[in-house]
């Protein structure tokens, strides 16, 4: 995180999973919130986007944790709200796992309560899933009117929730034309609520090489996966627990959030042009993925960010 802010990245996403969904459940997986607190103390500029699953956290307590970390970071904490998808993880940690639309109904209440305790003194709330009386939360977040709330989803329930309750919409990887269509859809939904415009982000796995041939060789290497891979069963649970607009392939499993479909594979000039296309489509933020992380991040910064690129923010 320290190196990323030094070389030009604007944001880091801290995933919240208590088990490792890619390398298998026996592999290490760090707690998101203690990690975020640690990073808040040792970074100065970078935005800290922490993923949070409402079913794993009582909203008022999570709001307190988040406000505290926002104080430590001087207003750099943001949340990526994710309705849970992994049934095995929920069972192993004693958390209820609800059906898709029920999870979104819970998330709606969760967001209302979160917003209330951040903004109001002596806030009370009574709903189907949550109840608080005369809440006192001090200190409140530095960020005003609240820390930015990101969320993603492709089901009608998810889109309506995000348009009404969140500040930014995050999308799986797709070509710029398709992303532009999604942005238009969410802008239309947002307009019905008379709220400030949403920000838009998209996932993208980046492979930058001197030649297109070298980039394609690396692409073939990382997509050489088998159904026997350690995390493949978890990937199948994700498919079963979500409502996606498109089918996903075994190759999509090799990179999270359909990152390869964004097409950020090629020479520095090709990747920069692709980023410009996303910006023209309305994208404000690209959530970049690399492997190996540090080496590829450095290469991307040297070849794409530093040569005077004016494309969307990168993370």
Count CA atoms closer than 13 A to 152's CA, side-chain side.
19
| Residues 236/88, Cβ–Cβ less than 8 Å | no
Q: Going along 103-198, which residue ranges are E strands?
A: 123-126, 131-135, 149-152, 168-171
Q: Which of 26-35, 61-70, 249-258, 295-304 has the lowest mean pLDDT?
A: 249-258
pLDDT(19) > 50: yes
Greatest extent of the chain over all pairs of C-alpha atoms, in Å? 62
Asked if 52 and 120 touch (Cβ cutoff 8 Å), the reply is no
Q: Tokens 């392939």 map to which residue?
A: 249
Residue 221 burial (10 A CB sphere; 0-12, 13-18, 19+): exposed
182-202 pLDDT per residue, tens? 999 999 999 999 999 999 999
The pTM of this model reads 0.88
Percent of the chain exceeding pLDDT 90 equals 73
* Per-residue pLDDT tens over the stretch 124-157: 999 999 999 999 999 999 999 999 999 999 999 9
CATH topology of domain 2-314: TIM Barrel (3.20.20)
| b/e per residue 60-76 (b: at least 16 CB within 10 A) | bebbbbbbbbbebbeeb
pLDDT for 238 equals 53
């Amino acid at each position: 995180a320290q190196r990323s802010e030094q070389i030009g990245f604007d944001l880091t996403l801290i995933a919240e999973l208590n088990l490792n969904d890619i390398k298998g459940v026996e592999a290490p997986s760090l707690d998101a919130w203690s990690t975020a607190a640690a990073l808040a103390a040792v970074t100065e500029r970078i935005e800290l986007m922490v993923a949070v699953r409402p079913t794993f956290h009582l909203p008022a307590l999570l709001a307190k944790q988040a406000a505290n970390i926002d104080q430590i970071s001087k207003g750099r904490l943001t949340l990526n709200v994710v309705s849970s998808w992994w049934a095995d993880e929920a069972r192993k940690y004693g958390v209820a796992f609800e059906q898709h639309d029920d999870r979104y109904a819970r998330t709606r209440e969760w967001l209302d309560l979160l917003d209330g305790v951040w903004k109001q003194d002596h806030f009370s709330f009574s709903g189907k899933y949550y109840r608080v009386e005369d809440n006192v939360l001090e200190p409140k977040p530095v960020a005003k009117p609240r820390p930015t709330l990101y969320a993603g989803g492709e089901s009608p329930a998810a889109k309506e929730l995000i348009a009404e309750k969140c500040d930014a919409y995050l999308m799986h990887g797709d070509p710029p034309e398709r992303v532009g269509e999604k942005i238009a859809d969410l802008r239309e939904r947002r307009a019905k609520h008379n709220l400030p415009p949403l920000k838009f982000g998209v996932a993208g796995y980046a492979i930058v090489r001197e030649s297109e041939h070298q980039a394609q060789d690396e692409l073939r290497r990382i997509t050489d996966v088998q159904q026997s891979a350690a995390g493949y069963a978890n990937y199948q649970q994700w498919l079963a627990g979500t409502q996606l607009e498109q089918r996903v392939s075994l190759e999509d499993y090799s990179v999270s959030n359909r990152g390869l479909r964004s097409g950020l594979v090629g020479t520095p000039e090709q990747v920069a042009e692709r980023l410009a296309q996303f910006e023209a489509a309305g994208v404000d933020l690209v959530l970049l993925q690399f492997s190996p992380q540090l080496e590829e991040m450095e290469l991307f910064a040297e070849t794409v960010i530093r040569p005077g690129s004016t494309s969307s923010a990168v993370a």
